[in-house]
Amino acid sequence: MAAPLLFCTAEEAKPVVYKVMDVKLQGVDESLFNLVESRAGPRDSDRPFKRALREDEPFEAAFIGASESDCQAWALDMQARHNFIEQDLIGILDKRSASDETLLIQFYSRGPGMEIGDQGVFPKETDKWHDFRINYRDADALTSSLQFGASEIVYPVYFGRKEELTDERGVFDVSRAEKICMGEES
């Protein structure tokens, strides 16, 4: 099953990796993410990335000190070569993650956005990575909506109302976005 890549770019964020890797897919005992440990690429075809991490299990973090653009470029290169990597969606644990347990989710919009009625085109910018800094516990909801949600419902909320749904700390409110998508809130 394809999964988004998870990068750790700060030594102090390594403890948060265990927490993020504990976010499981519904009904599956594997993490939502593929943990990136090496710049060389996936280890082998049977278990290319770690999808589970015990509390005391050591792991490599070859992207310590890497920039967001380093992670993005690596992800685009690897996803073009391997079908077990979720397309255009990554998670990054950075220095900030160590202090507030947030996760930076990035979504890459390749082509022209989708015209959605009189609401406009979403996402507006193409060939661009879109950032969503979230509480790591909300990763499943956000990634599921972006990957599998009805674009005509999800995109106007996640891309069109992003500023409104982002608090003063820069954290996107996934719970509220989901309520809006489900019609429970406007």
Q: Is residue 35 part of a domain?
A: yes
Predicted pLDDT of residue 25: 74
CA distances from 186 to 116, 139, 180 (A): 17, 22, 5
Predicted pLDDT of residue 121: 95
Predicted pLDDT of residue 57: 95
Q: How far apart are CA 62 and CA 127, in angstroms?
A: 26
Predicted pLDDT of residue 90: 98
Tell me the Ramachandran region of residue 167: left when phi exceeds 0, alpha when psi lies from -120 to 50, beta otherwise: beta
Predicted pLDDT of residue 42: 86
Predicted pLDDT of residue 24: 83
Q: Is residue 47 part of a domain?
A: yes
Predicted pLDDT of residue 18: 97
CA distances from 152 to 76, 89, 159, 160 (A): 25, 19, 11, 11
Q: Is residue 160 part of a domain?
A: yes
The pTM for the full model equals 0.95
| Counted domains in the chain | 1
Q: Which residues contact 72 (CB under 8 A, 6 or more apart)?
A: 90, 106, 108, 129
What residue numbers bound the domain in which 75 lies?
A: 3-181
Q: Could you say which residues of the chain have pLDDT below 70?
A: 45
Q: Is residue 186 part of a domain?
A: no
pLDDT of 53-104, one tens digit each? Answer: 998 899 999 999 999 999 999 999 999 998 889 999 999 999 999 999 999 9
